[in-house]
Homo-oligomer: A and B are copies of this chain.
């Protein structure tokens, strides 16, 4: 019997990046990481941290090996059916309509806290960015996404009604970070928007304001409707008070609407703004039009981002504890993953009121 001596001095192997990429892809394919079809090239580049030419070289090699089929202008298909023993065990998939950098800073903090907690418990999180899952007819996109990347639990961020309905209908394990639409019994963690709205309304009335504007986006996310209801209820308690709801499509549209309101004869003296980023727009625009804050116009922000501290004057707002938000979601994720039935529990966190100088 011949024994092979272990070579004591082995020269470095010089595996090119393309080959390494092929190996990574093969391993994932063998593990059944994707079903049917591959993700787009650009997305793969991101996750593999590799440039597109490199990735394409690897993909083409796999095609030549017959493990993938190329289809012009549509996604590549997986040929060999892999032993689909994909351990979807401890994986949470986040679905967001935009990449992190487009989300509000507080949302990023929340996600970070969430990942941290889940990571400590041995979970991995995976973020999916897909615009088409948030449209009015998200069925196809959701079908494909959930089929392609199995996860123990799905976490919906800034989700809209059709999406939530889809998840409920397919009874996939999921939970909502933010507001769950009315009548849809998905477990969720949310800020207490109704209570916040009521508090803000009462505050402005107490300060003597009677002509009040609520500023909201025309997309219905983030519990805007609830805020509006809470705020309206508070304002309605004072018969002499008028409430105008300003619903804008874009930043520029908001500016236009503000100018219209400013031109009106009986001016509005208070603004309750739902999105903190738009508070910036409102405040800077009011200042630009020579309105004094808070003398000519009071401003209250429903969301409490950090940067509002640096506005002069400091913005009065309601701040949520992102750390806690993330922790609660992390807990709920684990509960949902363990229990078979969806427990439609809703956790509401009350934001902290931060008295600023804009009221």
- Chain A positions within 8 Å of B, measured between CB atoms, are 5-15, 17, 20-21, 23-24, 27-28, 31, 33, 47-50, 86-87, 90, 100-102, 105, 108-109, 111-113, 115-117, 119-120, 122, 124, 127, 251, 255, 277-278, 280-281, 283-285, 287-288, 290, 292-293, 305-307, 309-313, 322-323, 327, 330-331
Contacts and interface: CB of A to CB of B under 8 A. Distances in A.
A323 B24 contact: no
Nearest to A286: B287
Contact of A13 (B20, B105, B280, B322): B20
Contacts of A101: 109, 306, 322-323
12 contacts: A7-B124, A8-B87, A12-B24, A49-B330, A105-B306, A111-B112, A251-B310, A251-B312, A280-B310, A283-B284, A288-B292, A288-B312
A254 B241 CA distance: 39
A287 B283 CA distance: 10
A15 to B, nearest CB: 8
A281 to B, nearest CB: 5
Contacts of A327: 49
A305 B101 CA distance: 9
A296 to B, nearest CB: 12
A307 B283 CA distance: 13
Q: List the number of copies, as a whole number.
A: 2
A255 B312 contact: yes
Contact of A280 (B24, B111, B288, B307): B307
B11 A28 contact: no
Contacts of A313: 284, 288
Contacts of A306: 101-102, 105
Contact of A48 (B9, B27, B48): B9
A331 B323 CA distance: 28
Please give me the 4 A-B residue pairs with the lowest Cβ-Cβ distance, nearest first. A12-B20, A287-B287, A105-B105, A8-B33
Contacts of A116: 127
A160 to B, nearest CB: 22
A8 B20 contact: no
A13 B23 CA distance: 11
From A17, A49, A309, A327, name the one whose CB has the most chain B CB atoms within 10 angstroms: A49
